[in-house]
Structure 1
Amino acid sequence: MSGGVDSSTTAALLKSEGYDVVGITLQLYDHGEAIHRKGACCAGQDIHDARTVADRIGIPHYVLDYESRFREQVIDSFATSYATGETPVPCIECNRSIKFGDLLATARELGAQALATGHYVSSRRLPDGSRALVCAADADRDQSYFLFATTREQLQFLRFPLGDMTKAQTRELARRFDLSVADKHDSQDICFVPTGRYTEVVGRLKPNAMEPGDIVDLDGRVLGHHQGIVHFTVGQRRGLGIASQAPLYVLRLEPATRRVVVGPRAAMRMDRIWLRDVNWIGDSSLDLAVGDGLELYVRVRSTRRPQPAWLRAVDGEYQVDLVAGEDGVSPGQACVFYDAPEGQARVLGGGFIKSAEPRAANSAVIAPGAAARPIAGAHG
């Protein structure tokens, strides 16, 4: 129970259905100035709101101190990722190591039969008794991108009661349960960056990321200077601090030389992605499913729709070939696999983007559906 409307409504809904519910709130960081800041999650006010909701619906409520674990697994890795030229997604790591790792273990120790959260995603039982992770009914609220690292074992224990609801329906339920958070604003910031200025966190933990360097074009010509690669992300256009007749975009970051490489929009187009830390929750094993090449759909940023691609195993690594290519593919982001491009598609897994490159000249990628081979893990 983070203190927001989603987790609060989840608790109230399960309580109304007769479950023996225990509310758990995680204290993840030193609240400081975040306590009264609107839009910051997991802060002191949110703990108060979670406790108020628990009292209202009549369930026990506990606050668990996970600060040291959160700092090591999420905040430190976030700073390290930025310092190495990546654009991390801390919510994925928080779900993987804290909520569905440490918290799930605590739930089992308490004798719970399930861990329920307020995520907008669904878990569906398959004919063999296992569970599949499925996109939310409300595409605008779908959070499957942030949960791709969930394992098969964890899915057996997780429940997502809001997966088939819209946000409006959730708020209406909260009003029906007379919850004080029914109209509370959604959290928008990274919870441990209450000011919204993530560079302050990175600069404090990784000072080398704030060292000055050059801004160069694709030919290596110096166009300007910067005060740290942490101020830039792949695909960025504004705030480069250089004058140019044509728009320039950040193409890549080179932490070893502290160079920011910029170029025209056309140079942002990437067609091949190399992945690390791949997690597979489709049918059969990953290697068996991939075989000589697996047709599927991938999402390379949380705000983008899945697009057709091929997943291949090459020399012990996993490679994704995008049929249409993508702009601004950034190392550190996730590449999530789906069995369909829209609707309540099944999540097949995913991995973190290690690198990306344009397609070799005269090569092409066939779109899924153009070949006769079915997608492994497809439902229906």
Structure 2
Amino acid sequence: MSGGVDSSVATLLLHSWGLEVQGVTLKLFNNETSCSLETKTCCSLQDVEDARSVCVDLGVSHYVFNFTKTFGTTVIDKFCDAYLSGETPNPCIDCNRFVKFEALQQRRRDLGFDYVATGHYARRIYNDDTQRFELHTAFDEHKDQSYVLFHLDQDTLRHMLFPLGDLTKTQVRELAREAGFINAQKQESQDICFVPDGNYAAFIHNRTGKTFTPGAIVNREGKRLGTHQGLIHYTIGQRKGIGVAAAQPLYVYEKRPETNELVVDTDMKTQCRGVIVRDVTYGALDHIDGTQQLSVKTHYRQKAQDAVVTNASNKRLRIEFCAPQRACAPGQFAVCYRGDTVICGGTIEDIIPE
């Protein structure tokens, strides 16, 4: 329970179904002062009190689990390492994967509970034909969070509940209002919880001691266009704030930490034909044979794009899009769908140039 309206209504529904429910909020790091009430994160002390208030209203127990060590090593340190190596990480997926699911599922087993339930917008469906649990997109396509949950394996799905999967956000807020919850109209968390001011460079410098040196901005042909202020300040697909004047808008295409070069170019020249994906996790299938036609997301809010997906090697995929795509960033995630069903997903390792 993050203290937000979604996890609160999930608790309400579970309780109304007659299940034995215990509410849990996770303590993820120690610098609570960085999470003030003005930020749009999900970790302030007020959030803990909001979650506890809902549990009091429902008459269920509420606990806080200290996962600061796990969060530090599997999320924060991984986030810093990825940025320093030129990748663009998604710490929210790592938090879901290693903390909210892997670590919390282990705590569930230790305590003898049957399920972990969350306020994510997704659906879990059992397929009688394949005898596998499947992750499906939510009924509310605007709130669907299946992209960030692609990593859930069969054992985890067997012990998961997603009470909000068939509801819209409007319905969820109405249920919270009817229940009298204090967070019925609470704003959603948006920022990375451990960097609430969005200054990734300062955070990584303070945590690692690393400094970021200026270097050359070049186009894809290698022509020098200007000087960047440190690769860490830029993200793949970025348009504004590059600092180079040009007749046409420029976009960040690639970061090269080995040469400290930032590669930029015009829109058409920064598109890619496909991606190579590593560390693939399978969901509805246990593997992909040969080549399959699927739809693929490389960004959370992106509409899934038609693609040809090929099993390249052990836990690797080659994905070639039917139409060129922009801002496919190493370190981000590619998730493959068939219709509304998650087939598999993994980390983008490299891009296939157009």
- Deviation, 1:14, is 1.0
List aligned pairs for 1:44-123, cutoff 5 A. Answer: 44-123=45-124
Q: Do 2:214 and 2:230's aligned partners in 1 also have CA atoms closer than 8 Å?
A: yes
State the alpha-carbon separation in 2 of the partners of residues 216 and 140 from structure 1. 37
Partner residue, 2:19: 19
Partner residue, 1:373: none
State the alpha-carbon separation in 2 of the partners of residues 60 and 228 from structure 1. 48
Partner residue, 1:326: 325
Answering whether residue 195 of structure 2 is matched by residue 217 of structure 1, we say: no
Partner residue, 1:33: 34
Evaluate the alpha carbon distance shift between residue 315 and residue 158 of structure 1 in structure 2; reply closer, same or farther with a 3 A threshold. closer
Q: Which amino acid aligns with 2:329?
A: S
Instruction: Give the secondary-structure state (helix, strand or coil) at the position aligned to 1:192.
Output: coil
Moved more, 244-253 or 198-207: 198-207
State the alpha-carbon separation in 1 of the partners of residues 135 and 221 from structure 2. 45
State the alpha-carbon separation in 1 of the partners of residues 33 and 147 from structure 2. 30
Instruction: Give the secondary-structure state (helix, strand or coil) at the position aligned to 1:191.
Output: coil
Gaps of 5+ in 2: none
Partner residue, 2:345: 350
Correspondent of 2:247 among 224, 245, 262:
245
Q: Do 1:82 and 1:88's aligned partners in 2 also have CA atoms closer than 8 Å?
A: yes
CA RMSD of aligned residues (A): 1.4
State the alpha-carbon separation in 2 of the partners of residues 68 and 347 from structure 1. 31
Deviation per residue, 1:185-221 (Å, 9 max, x gap): 1111111112122222222234546222111122322
State the alpha-carbon separation in 2 of the partners of residues 299 and 206 from structure 1. 32
List aligned pairs for 1:195-210, cutoff 5 A. Answer: 195-208=197-210, 210=212
- Deviation, 1:155, is 0.3
Partner residue, 1:6: 6
Correspondent of 2:303 among 302, 305, 326:
305
State the alpha-carbon separation in 1 of the partners of residues 45 and 270 from structure 2. 42
State the alpha-carbon separation in 2 of the partners of residues 268 and 119 from structure 1. 33
Q: Do 2:39 and 2:196's aligned partners in 1 also have CA atoms closer than 8 Å?
A: no
List aligned pairs for 1:182-193, cutoff 5 A. Answer: 182-193=184-195
Q: Do 1:4 and 1:186's aligned partners in 2 also have CA atoms closer than 8 Å?
A: yes
Q: Percent of pairs identical after alignment?
A: 39
Partner residue, 1:148: 150
Instruction: Give the secondary-structure state (helix, strand or coil) at the position aligned to 2:320.
Output: strand
Instruction: Give the secondary-structure state (helix, strand or coil) at the position aligned to 1:95.
Output: helix
State the alpha-carbon separation in 2 of the partners of residues 291 and 13 from structure 1. 40
Q: Do 1:209 and 1:230's aligned partners in 2 also have CA atoms closer than 8 Å?
A: no
Q: How many residues align?
A: 351
Moved more, 114-123 or 320-329: 320-329
Q: Which amino acid aligns with 2:182?
A: S
Evaluate the alpha carbon distance shift between residue 51 and residue 105 of structure 1 in structure 2; reply closer, same or farther with a 3 A threshold. same
State the alpha-carbon separation in 1 of the partners of residues 226 and 299 from structure 2. 29
State the alpha-carbon separation in 2 of the partners of residues 243 and 191 from structure 1. 34
Evaluate the alpha carbon distance shift between residue 207 and residue 251 of structure 1 in structure 2; reply closer, same or farther with a 3 A threshold. farther
Q: Which amino acid aligns with 2:8?
A: S
State the alpha-carbon separation in 2 of the partners of residues 180 and 320 from structure 1. 46
Instruction: Give the secondary-structure state (helix, strand or coil) at the position aligned to 2:311.
Output: strand
Deviation per residue, 1:43-72 (Å, 9 max, x gap): 211011111111111111110111111011
Q: Which amino acid aligns with 1:27?
A: K
Q: Which amino acid aligns with 2:317?
A: Y
